[in-house]
Amino acid sequence: MALSSPSAPSGRPGSFQRRNNDPFAAIRRNHRIKVPQVRLISPEGKQLGIIDTTKAINLALENGLDLVEVAPNATPPVCRIMDFGKYVYEEQKKSSHSKATASKIKEIEFTARIEQHDYETKLRHAEEFLDHGNKVKMRLKFRGREMAHTEIGFDVMKRAVADLAGMAHADADPKLIGRNIHVMLTPLPANKRKPKFITPSEEEPADEVSDDGAPAAD
């Protein structure tokens, strides 16, 4: 029985080996699947019904693929015929992309009663981040009884968003979460940026900055 499979980089069936700290090592496949029968899914996602596990494994291997257990707690377990090496590759690529995206989000911290000099310093750092294509998360933390006057914090954040309008747009209005106001800024296209506090690309951006001039905590 021949099975069609979407074309993609192929790994040798069953060749993926257990490695330390490997999140995929616990996924049973091929001869590690010990139950007598499985509910089988084709490479295209078609339900093939309940079939003897040995027959399902042979069917996968004959087509240069793997039998992979995708729902171990079902009765019987659900298995899919796929290229396990390709699956791992694609999942790792997604993970790498997510990490790369996350690393481009920089954070600037404010306080409700920030001094003008500190305020301008923070906006200069924000513009540096934005000028290098990074998203900027601005966070204002209320201290002590400042929570009784959250409007002061919102005024600071709205002012900052307005002052950075030549470099970025806010993804949404500032939002209060717990004792913090958050707002995310996305940089404008490079040819539309009009910085107010820096000369474009004048320097490499600094690390995240808090009110005391130290790197902001994660």
| Both tokens assigned to 167 | 């470099």
pLDDT, tens only, 31-84: 999 999 999 999 999 999 999 999 999 999 999 999 999 999 999 999 999 999
What is the reported pLDDT for 14? 47
Q: How far is CA 54 from CA 42, 60, 191, in A?
A: 15, 10, 61
The CATH superfamily assigned to 104-192 is: Translation initiation factor 3 (IF-3), C-terminal domain (3.30.110.10)
CATH class of 30-98: alpha beta
What is the reported pLDDT for 143? 93
What is the reported pLDDT for 91? 85
In single-letter form, the type of residue at position 127 comes to: E
Question: Most distant CA pair in the chain: distance in Å?
Answer: 75
CB 176 within 8 A of CB 127: no
| Mean pLDDT along residues 182-200 | 91
What is the reported pLDDT for 65? 95
Domain ranges of the chain: 30-98, 104-192
The residue whose two tokens read 């040798």 is 12
pLDDT, tens only, 104-130: 899 999 999 999 999 999 999 999 999
- Name which residue leads in pLDDT, 1 or 175: 175
Half-sphere exposure for 17 (CA within 13 Å, toward CB): 2
| Both tokens assigned to 64 | 């240069």
What is the reported pLDDT for 218? 45
Can you name the residues that pair with 38 across neighbouring β-strands?
Answer: 51
Mean pLDDT of all residues in the chain? 84
Give the percent of the chain with pLDDT over 70: 78
Q: How confident is the model at residue 1 (pLDDT cuts 50, 70, 90)?
A: low
User: Residue 10: pLDDT above 50?
Assistant: no
User: Residue 208: pLDDT above 70?
Assistant: no
What is the reported pLDDT for 181? 97
- Most confidently modeled of 73-82, 190-199, 208-217? 73-82
The residue whose two tokens read 């079902």 is 74
| Both tokens assigned to 190 | 């490079």
104, containing H or E segment: none
Q: What HEC string does 15-83 produce?
A: CCCCCCCCCCCCCCEHHHCCCCEEEEECCCCCEEEEEEHHHHHHHHHHCCCEEEEEECCCCCCEEEEEC
